[in-house]
Amino acid sequence: MKTSLEFENKTYQSDLSNPLDISMPLSTGKDTPSAWYVAPPKIEPVRTEQFIGSVKEGGSVNFRNISFNPHGNGTHTECVGHISREVHSINQVLNQFFFFAELISIEPKKLENGDQVILWEQIESIIKTDNTDAIIIRTLPNTDGKLTRQYSETNPPYVDAEVMSQLIKRGIKHFLIDLPSVDRELDNGVLAAHHVFWEHPKKTNLERTITELIYVPSAIQDGLYLLNLQIAPFENDASPSKPVLYSLTES
């Protein structure tokens, strides 16, 4: 199914029957990617004296409990409720789901202290569009090892707060990245990039979202896409999410 879209005074065609999934599956087992010292997800049949929720074990239906942490287990989208004293739900904040987005690939810069950081000068030199609602960052090198990586206590790359400051000036509302956090793993709770992006607490923006732990296969080229950002309807600061891209062809 093809659709026509207008962006920056140009008309694009997009084939909605050809999605490009950039989420990571939420599954059990030690090979599931994780961060923040959380255990792998658990998906287990309900078991009582009168009932077993497993057809394999003799039950009439599969009826499973699922236990996980949205921030530490797989692709997730979060709102300012992640860092605010007030309760804000991603299910209330995110109420539109299609956006124009630019995908860019960046190798984080290594600092003298050993940290790897994405800097604004890197983004500014390659970003091509000014009016997208979303930006998607694929870090380099990009390998399928990201699908099983255990990030806890590894000091993963992160995003310099100046990046967020500059992106909100360009109108970015949705920030997606293949790292466990936009901030340093251990930063004494400062969470500078989160605070700057949401302008919290002085001018808190409730519309913007951050999506972390995506995975963009190398076969997907940098450029402009139509992004469909879907979440599970949890009333929580974060939810597992399924960002999907659709290629755009100029008419």
In a domain, residue 49? The reply is no
In a domain, residue 120? The reply is yes
State whether residue 245 is helix, strand or coil. strand
Task: Say yes or no to pLDDT of 30 above 90.
Answer: no
* pLDDT confidence tier of residue 41, bands split at 50, 70 and 90: very high
Task: Say yes or no to pLDDT of 31 above 90.
Answer: no
* pLDDT confidence tier of residue 217, bands split at 50, 70 and 90: very high
Contacts of 119 by beta carbon, 8 Å cutoff, 6+ apart: 109, 160, 162, 163
In a domain, residue 234? The reply is yes
3-state secondary structure string across 92-116? HHCCCCEEEEEEEEECCEECCCCCE
What average pLDDT does this structure show over 164-178? 98
CATH number for the domain harbouring residue 216: 3.50.30.50
- Condensed to tens digits (0 to 9), the pLDDT of residues 106-133 reads 999 999 999 999 999 999 999 999 899 9
In a domain, residue 115? The reply is yes
In a domain, residue 56? The reply is no
Which one, of 230, 192, 182, 210, lies nearest residue 80 by Cα? 210
Token output for 38? 């959380």
What is the C-alpha separation between 169 and 68, in angstroms, rounded? Answer: 35
- Condensed to tens digits (0 to 9), the pLDDT of residues 42-84 reads 999 999 999 999 999 999 999 999 999 999 999 999 999 999 9
* Domain containing residue 223: 2-24+75-250
What total of structural domains would you count in the chain?
1
In a domain, residue 245? The reply is yes
In a domain, residue 46? The reply is no
Instruction: Name the strand (E) or helix (H) holding 194.
Output: helix 192-198
In a domain, residue 184? The reply is yes
What is the C-alpha separation between 127 and 219, in angstroms, rounded? Answer: 19
What is the C-alpha separation between 175 and 18, in angstroms, rounded? Answer: 23
**pTM exceeding 0.95:** yes
- Looking at residue 2, what is its pLDDT? 86
